[in-house]
Amino acid sequence: MAVFESCLVELSDFDENPRASVARATRPRFRVVVQNALQDALQRSIELKLTLSQDAASPQKSPPAESAARAPAFSVDDLLFVCFADNRTVVPDDDRARTADELDTIYGLDSRGLHRQAMERVARYVDELLNSGKFPECDAMLTAAKADELSAPVLVAFLGITLAARGKLGFRASFYDRAFARVSHESGENEASELLARYK
Amino acid sequence: MKAVRMRHPSCWRDTNKTPMDLDRLTTNPVDTQWVSVSVERNQQCNLHAGIVHRTGENEVKKLHFGWHRSLYNYFVTGPVVCAIPDVAKPAHRLWLAVFCGLVADNIPKRNIPYSLKHDEDVAFDERTGEVKFGNEDSGLNCATFVVAVFRCAGHPLINSKGWPKASIDDIAIQKQSVRSMLDSSDPDIQQQGRKNSRDIGTPRIRPDHVAGACLEKEAAGPARFAACEANSAHVVTALDSHLACQA
């Protein structure tokens, strides 16, 4: 797990309060690493807990008991807190559950070939989040969205509706990368570029 | 209404060898491949631009900025000419239609002042995250509204760099619009008219320019003035021929 190894190098100063210690480490590189870790966690399960070890020599997701005793466990909330340290905001459980429901609906519509309806759903929901200033919620949705399970039009909708807000959405770039990889894998890099580059 | 589809071959202008495709001009809004720019003549016989977007099977609506703080979305009535932009990817065309639907759904939130100026920056509200189609200091008009929607959706039609100052005809239309606002009994419209009076002579993107931009190839990027101006003549000719047929 390269992302965790990188993360371990950066995390060298834990204390009793995991949030305080990780919030100190807000260097851009660290943020990217944490965002990747969070994305990985959310891709597997919204409830997955991440444990980052302080010991760079033994990077692993489930450290042995003696390592865990001195390394704090980081929940998804902790990581969200780090990623949005400037805002001091985390995504409330209700919003996260609603986003998960919304994504389920979008996957369902898209898989039945109802691309337009799926795109409209994306556009309306994300627009509502942006209009309410819910940037972390929007980021959480981009992070949780499984690019591999979405059609090209729906990927375009996600990127198109967030285009104006890209400066506010820390996770949008990684969503773009996943969308690009997904289209590249299916149709080649040229097609991915023609389809997505204008929304970068 | 009898639909007339322009059957000119694609042609090349000698000036810069940019391809222009008159096959993308149609008088039948239903021909719109998800989205097109419409041009019509209003009661004063001035040109007016809007966006025709597909809302369902054989169903299209026209989204247009009619006047000060008046955005509309309804079925197309009356003769129009539609210029279908060169958007190669079906996913992009679909997205533009979805985006227009979203703008239409949010019409109550879009309280757009009428302005003569072209506001290059569609503001993004830092506090609410709302995309602003022109702010209180500037605003939009029918043509720049179309420009703003396409730009916001990630498909800019026009590159306004180097756009010339208003022509004599443009100034006459700008003055006419300011006069209408100043003559209004609505104090808000009067106030906007006073603001706009300071902008008479500002570069003007005309409705037929925006439709003309759609006739350019997507790969060439957002259209500049020369291309829009050259293409606009075809748009106006098509519209007026259509109106003559209707008369």
The answer to whether the Cβ–Cβ distance between B130 and A123 falls below 8 Å is: no
Check residue A78 and give its pLDDT: 53
Give the mean pLDDT of A127-136: 85
Cβ of B92 within 8 Å of Cβ of A195? The answer is yes
Pick from B90, B101, B154: which is nearest to A198 by CB?
B154
Is A163's CB within 8 Å of B130's CB? no
pLDDT category of residue B63 using cuts at 50, 70 and 90: very high
Note whether A136 and A79 are within 8 A (CB).
no
A130 CB within 8 Å of a chain B CB: yes
What stretch of H or E contains A50?
Answer: strand A50-51
Provide the CB-side half-sphere exposure for B199 (13 A, CA): 23
Question: Per the structure block, which two tokens stand in for A164?
Answer: 């104006």
Disruptive mutation site among A130, A137, A139 for chain B (greatest number of B CBs within 10 Å): A130
B95 and chain A: CB distance < 8 Å anywhere? Answer: yes
Check CB contact under 8 Å for B155 and A198.
Answer: yes
| H or E element, residue A120 | helix A115-131
Per residue in A74-99, pLDDT tens?
555 555 554 544 443 456 667 778 88
Is residue B235 very low, low, confident or very high in pLDDT (cuts 50, 70, 90)?
A: very high
Distance of alpha carbon B115 from alpha carbon A165, whole angstroms: 25
Judged against a pLDDT cut of 90, whether residue B180 lies above it is answered with yes
Q: Confidence class of residue B113 from pLDDT cuts 50, 70 and 90?
A: confident
A90 vs chain B: nearest CA distance in angstroms? 17
Predicted TM-score of the model (pTM): 0.78
Contact B153 A160 (CB under 8 A): yes
Interface of A with B in 158-177 (CB under 8 A): 159-161, 163-165, 168
Using CB atoms, pick whichever of B88, B98, B124 lies closest to residue A116: B98
Interface predicted TM-score (ipTM) over 0.90? no
Mean pLDDT lowest among A50-54, A176-180, B167-171, B208-212:
A50-54
- Measured in angstroms, the CA of A195 and the nearest CA of chain B are apart by 7
pLDDT (tens digit per residue) in B122-131: 554 544 445 5
What's the pLDDT score for residue A182?
Answer: 94
Strand pairing of B47-56 and B11-12? Answer: unpaired
